[in-house]
Amino acid sequence: MTLQQIYREGKETLERAGIAEAGLDAWYLLEYVTGISRASYYGDPGRVVTEEDLCRYRECIEKRAGHIPLQHITGEQEFMGLSFRVNDQVLIPRQDTETLVEEALKYAMPGMRVLDLCTGSGCILISLLHFCPGLTGVGSDISAEALKMARTNGQRLHVEDRAQWLCGDLFEKVTGAFDLIVSNPPYIRSAEIEELQEEVRLYDPRIALDGAEDGLLFYRRIIEESKSYLKNGGRLLFEIGCDQGRDVAELLENAGYTEVSVKKDLAGLDRVAAGRLQ
């Protein structure tokens, strides 16, 4: 079979399975298995595929047709233009979260120290360290398995000498003071988890999703405890759900934070809440 034939077969299989972006996912898997670029494909779509690549491609397509996330098949996800390793122990990095990194980078400076709570794959902390040389940081997560992936990503992206990884419940193992604290905590309301897409509901770690009854449990905890770890003038920044801006802003204001703001993402939805500790 040719490249064009197996791509069409893969796309049709994913369409029948109800995969939203069937054509795109079929292409990514073709690229993953064969290593081909789009230019090479369009230059020679009739190239015959090896039997080994054909079998691998069909296996990958069947997994994706079963709603296994694309990133769990390829083992990686791009975030902030960087390639991160991922598995079923970490939340897959999403483009929405880039808004949090972009906001934090407005305040990050060489010599500062940043704390990333619920670090997961490490994508937030590692991106900050990558784009702000001279910044150092700590990533904390309750999952030891998630931290293994974060360490791997730190090594692959060459920031391991500026990153420390701690296994604990939020601030449990954290010491010292920080100029910035960032977090993408679990914020989905417990009752809403069963309504999520199958790829998220079944394959993202529930511990990384469940924000308790109102989705605000971790915001309350972090906001209250952060004052013991944030330097005067330091900033606390969160990713938030699109309907949580007002609630999280009020929590920050009630805790004494100033310059409280809510930043929208590229889709025009509330995505980042931030405040400054006086």
Binding residues for S-adenosyl-L-methionine, by number, are 141, 184
Q: Are 139 and 147 in contact (CB under 8 A)?
A: yes
User: What tokens does 203 get?
Assistant: 């394959």
User: What tokens does 161 get?
Assistant: 């000498």
3-state secondary structure of 80: coil
Q: Are 57 and 7 in contact (CB under 8 A)?
A: no
Distance CA 185, CA 247 (A): 15
3-state secondary structure of 68: coil
Binding residues: 141, 184-187
- For residue 57, the Cα-to-chain-centroid distance in whole angstroms is 26
Distance CA 253, CA 259 (A): 9
3-state secondary structure of 155: helix
In this structure, which long-range contacts are made by residues 48-57, counting pairs with CB atoms below 8 Å and at least 24 apart in sequence? 48/1, 48/2, 49/1, 49/2, 49/3, 49/6, 54/1, 54/6, 57/6, 57/10, 57/29, 57/30, 57/33
The amino acid occupying position 149 is M
Beta strands at 270-276 and 258-264: parallel, antiparallel or unpaired: antiparallel
Beta strands at 178-183 and 163-167: parallel, antiparallel or unpaired: unpaired
